[in-house]
Structure 1
Amino acid sequence: MHQQRIIYDDTTVRRFIIASVLFGIVGMAVGALAASQLAWWQANLGIPYTTYSRLRPLHTNAVIFAFVGNMMFAGIYYSTQRLLKTRMASDLLSKIHFWGWQLIIVAAAISLPLGFTTSKEYAELEWPIDVAIAVIWVVFAINFFWTLAKRHEKNLYVAIWFYIATIVTVAVLHIVNSLALPLSGMKSYSVFAGVQDALVQWWYGHNAVAFFLTTPILGIMYYFLPKAAERPVYSYRLSIIHFWALVFIYIWAGPHHLLYTALPDWAQSLGMIFSVMLWAPSWGGMLNGLLTLKGAWYKLREDPVLKFLIAGVTFYGMATFEGPLLSIKSVSALAHYTDWIVGHVHSGALGWNGFMAAGMFYWLVPRLYGTKLHSPKAADAHFWLGTVGILLYMVSMWISGVTQGLMWQAANPDGTLLYPNFVETLLAIRPMYIVRFVGGSMYLVGFIMMAWNLWKTARAGKAVDGETTVVVEPPTPVAEPVPAKAPTPGWVQVVTGRPLVFAIAILTVTMFLGWAKPVRAVVLMGAIIALGEFAWIVTRRDREAGRPSWFGLIEGKPLAFTVLTLIAILIGGVAELLPTIMLKQAVPAHGQAQEPYSPLELQGRDLYVREGCYTCHSQMIRPFVAETQRYGDVSRAEEFIYDYPFQWGSKRTGPDLHRLGGKYPNLWHYTHMMDPRATSPGSNMPPYPWLAEQRIVVKDAPKKLALMQRLGVPYSNADVDSAEARQKTQAEGITADLAAQGVQVAWDSEMVAIISYLQRLGRGPQDLPAPPEKAPAPPDRLPAATIASEEGR
Structure 2
Amino acid sequence: MSARSVRAKWVEDGSSLPIFIILIAGLLWALFAAHPTGVPAGSYPTLEMHGYIMMGAFLVGIIMLVGVCSNGTPKINLAEYEDKVIKYGVLATTFWGIVGMLVGVIIACQLTWPRIFYFDSMPWLNFGRMRPLHTSAVIFAFGGNALIATSFYVVQRTCRTRLAGGLWAWFVFWGYQLFIVLAATGYLTGITQSKEYAEPEWYVDIWLTIVWVAYLMVFMGTLYKRKEPHIYVANWFYLAFIVTVAILHIVNNLSLPTGMFEAKSYSLFSGVQDAMTQWWYGHNAVGFFLTAGFLAIMYYFIPKRADRPIWSYKLSIVHFWAVIFIYIWAGPHHLHFTALPQWTQTLGMVFSIMLWMPSWGGMINGLMTLQGAWDKLRTDPVLRMLVVSVAFYGMATFEGPLMSIRYVNALSHYTEWTIGHVHSGALGWNGFVTFGALYCLVPWLWKKKELYSLKLVEWHFWLATIGIVFYITAMWVAGIMEGLMWRAYTDLGFLEYAFIETVSAKHISYIVRALGGTLFLLGTFVMAFNIFMTIKGRGLAEPIDGDEPLAKRPVLPVSEPQLGGAAQ
TM-score using structure 1 length = 0.59
- Once residues 453 and 470 of structure 1 are traced to their aligned partners in structure 2, the CA distance between those partners, rounded to angstroms, is 32
The 8 Å contact of residues 78 and 162 in structure 2, kept in 1 or not, is answered as no
The 8 Å contact of residues 202 and 254 in structure 1, kept in 2 or not, is answered as yes
Whether 1:242 aligns to 2:315 is: no
Query: Percent identity over the alignment?
Result: 54
Of 251, 268, 284, which residue of structure 2 is paired with 1:191? Answer: 268
Amino acid in structure 2 at the alignment position of 1:275: S
- Aligned with 2:273: secondary structure? helix
Aligned to 1:409: 487
The 8 Å contact of residues 228 and 556 in structure 2, kept in 1 or not, is answered as no
Of 46, 61, 80, which residue of structure 1 is paired with 2:155? Answer: 80
| Cα offset, 1:164, TM superposition | 1.2
Deviations 1:448-489 (A, max 9, x none): 0000000000000349985233445899xxxxxxxxxxxxxx
- Once residues 310 and 257 of structure 1 are traced to their aligned partners in structure 2, the CA distance between those partners, rounded to angstroms, is 29
Aligned to 2:453: 375
- Once residues 487 and 315 of structure 2 are traced to their aligned partners in structure 1, the CA distance between those partners, rounded to angstroms, is 43
Whether 1:142 aligns to 2:183 is: no
Whether 1:263 aligns to 2:340 is: yes
Aligned to 1:584: none
| Cα offset, 1:108, TM superposition | 1.3
Aligned to 1:125: 200
| Cα offset, 1:57, TM superposition | 0.4
Deviations 1:69-101 (A, max 9, x none): 001111111111000000001230011000000
Q: 1:471 to 1:230 in 2, by over 3 A?
A: closer
- Once residues 374 and 113 of structure 1 are traced to their aligned partners in structure 2, the CA distance between those partners, rounded to angstroms, is 37
- Aligned with 1:181: secondary structure? strand
- Once residues 227 and 89 of structure 1 are traced to their aligned partners in structure 2, the CA distance between those partners, rounded to angstroms, is 24
Deviations 1:170-209 (A, max 9, x none): 1110000000010142111111111000000000000001
Amino acid in structure 1 at the alignment position of 2:525: I
| Cα offset, 1:114, TM superposition | 0.4
Aligned to 1:710: none
- Once residues 471 and 307 of structure 1 are traced to their aligned partners in structure 2, the CA distance between those partners, rounded to angstroms, is 33
Aligned to 1:623: none
Aligned to 1:8: 81
The 8 Å contact of residues 369 and 461 in structure 1, kept in 2 or not, is answered as no
Whether 1:23 aligns to 2:96 is: yes
- Once residues 44 and 33 of structure 1 are traced to their aligned partners in structure 2, the CA distance between those partners, rounded to angstroms, is 10
Structure 1 or 2: more helix by fraction: 2
The 8 Å contact of residues 14 and 368 in structure 1, kept in 2 or not, is answered as yes
The 8 Å contact of residues 228 and 557 in structure 2, kept in 1 or not, is answered as no
Amino acid in structure 1 at the alignment position of 2:467: G
Deviations 1:237-262 (A, max 9, x none): 10111000010000000000001111
Alignment of 1:427-446 (within 5 A): 427-446=504-523
Aligned to 1:35: 108
Runs of 5+ unmatched residues, structure 1: 476-489, 491-551, 557-793
Aligned to 1:306: 383
- Aligned with 2:256: secondary structure? strand
Amino acid in structure 2 at the alignment position of 1:298: D
- Once residues 106 and 443 of structure 1 are traced to their aligned partners in structure 2, the CA distance between those partners, rounded to angstroms, is 24
Alignment of 1:494-509 (within 5 A): none
Aligned to 2:250: 175
Aligned to 1:743: none
Alignment of 1:727-766 (within 5 A): none
| Cα offset, 1:44, TM superposition | 2.2
The 8 Å contact of residues 254 and 268 in structure 2, kept in 1 or not, is answered as yes
Alignment of 1:82-121 (within 5 A): 82-121=157-196
Whether 1:400 aligns to 2:478 is: yes
- Once residues 251 and 422 of structure 1 are traced to their aligned partners in structure 2, the CA distance between those partners, rounded to angstroms, is 36
Deviations 1:527-573 (A, max 9, x none): xxxxxxxxxxxxxxxxxxxxxxxxx97548xxxxxxxxxxxxxxxxx
Number of residue pairs matched by the alignment: 478
Amino acid in structure 2 at the alignment position of 1:152: K
| Cα offset, 1:432, TM superposition | 0.5
- Once residues 457 and 473 of structure 1 are traced to their aligned partners in structure 2, the CA distance between those partners, rounded to angstroms, is 34
The 8 Å contact of residues 81 and 163 in structure 2, kept in 1 or not, is answered as yes
Deviations 1:668-693 (A, max 9, x none): xxxxxxxxxxxxxxxxxxxxxxxxxx
- Once residues 472 and 37 of structure 1 are traced to their aligned partners in structure 2, the CA distance between those partners, rounded to angstroms, is 58
Aligned to 2:527: 450
- Once residues 326 and 132 of structure 1 are traced to their aligned partners in structure 2, the CA distance between those partners, rounded to angstroms, is 36
Aligned to 2:119: 45
Aligned to 1:520: none
- Aligned with 1:91: secondary structure? coil
Whether 1:362 aligns to 2:439 is: yes
- Once residues 420 and 556 of structure 2 are traced to their aligned partners in structure 1, the CA distance between those partners, rounded to angstroms, is 55
Deviations 1:553-607 (A, max 9, x none): 7548xxxxxxxxxxxxxxxxxxxxxxxxxxxxxxxxxxxxxxxxxxxxxxxxxxx
- Once residues 79 and 338 of structure 2 are traced to their aligned partners in structure 1, the CA distance between those partners, rounded to angstroms, is 56
| Cα offset, 1:366, TM superposition | 1.1
- Once residues 474 and 416 of structure 1 are traced to their aligned partners in structure 2, the CA distance between those partners, rounded to angstroms, is 75
- Once residues 422 and 382 of structure 1 are traced to their aligned partners in structure 2, the CA distance between those partners, rounded to angstroms, is 39
- Once residues 85 and 149 of structure 1 are traced to their aligned partners in structure 2, the CA distance between those partners, rounded to angstroms, is 11
| Cα offset, 1:367, TM superposition | 1.5
- Once residues 399 and 220 of structure 1 are traced to their aligned partners in structure 2, the CA distance between those partners, rounded to angstroms, is 32
- Aligned with 1:213: secondary structure? helix
Aligned to 2:363: 286
- Aligned with 1:112: secondary structure? helix
Aligned to 2:372: 295
The 8 Å contact of residues 6 and 85 in structure 1, kept in 2 or not, is answered as no
- Once residues 534 and 165 of structure 2 are traced to their aligned partners in structure 1, the CA distance between those partners, rounded to angstroms, is 29
- Once residues 34 and 148 of structure 1 are traced to their aligned partners in structure 2, the CA distance between those partners, rounded to angstroms, is 42
Aligned to 2:232: 157
| Cα offset, 1:163, TM superposition | 1.0
Whether 1:422 aligns to 2:495 is: no
Aligned to 1:208: 285
The 8 Å contact of residues 118 and 126 in structure 1, kept in 2 or not, is answered as yes
TM-score using structure 2 length = 0.82
- Aligned with 2:257: secondary structure? strand
Runs of 5+ unmatched residues, structure 2: 1-76
